[in-house]
Structure 1
Amino acid sequence: MGIEDNGPENAYPGPAEPGSEEEVYPDASADSAEGIDNEEDAAIAARNKGLDEMEIPENPPVDEDEEPSLGNS
């Protein structure tokens, strides 16, 4: 009794051949709006708005006259 292999001929087909019309990775923009959940869109928009409004503190000015640290020497 032998082992049956019903798997694909090539488990990893790799990228499309150069010059072929086949897309390796289809564009995300090709997805239709039907597959997207409106609640998820609202959550993503709220998160992105929070990131846009987030205040990022600026670095303090550098004191050129400050002595450098001796470190662990």
Structure 2
Amino acid sequence: MAVAVKEYKNISRFCIAHRWSLLLLIFTFGTFSTFAQNPQPTPPPVQEDDGDKKPISIKTDLVTLTLTV
């Protein structure tokens, strides 16, 4: 009994190379993202104990202020 072929797919070496390149790219980015994560929590900010609670006064002009913002 003969079976008819309904669909024929030709997988060339070029297509296989693309698949391996894609898998390598996914593996590489997955490895980088795994090692880039920091499992330790962020330490709380260190507050300096200032006995003087007076605000600091800095003289500046409007041009300098707008350029820094």
Task: State TM-score, norm by structure 2.
Answer: 0.33
Larger helix share, 1 or 2 = 2
- The higher radius of gyration belongs to 2
If asked which structure has higher relative contact order (CA below 8 Å, sep 6+), I would say 1
TM-score normalised by length of structure 1: 0.32
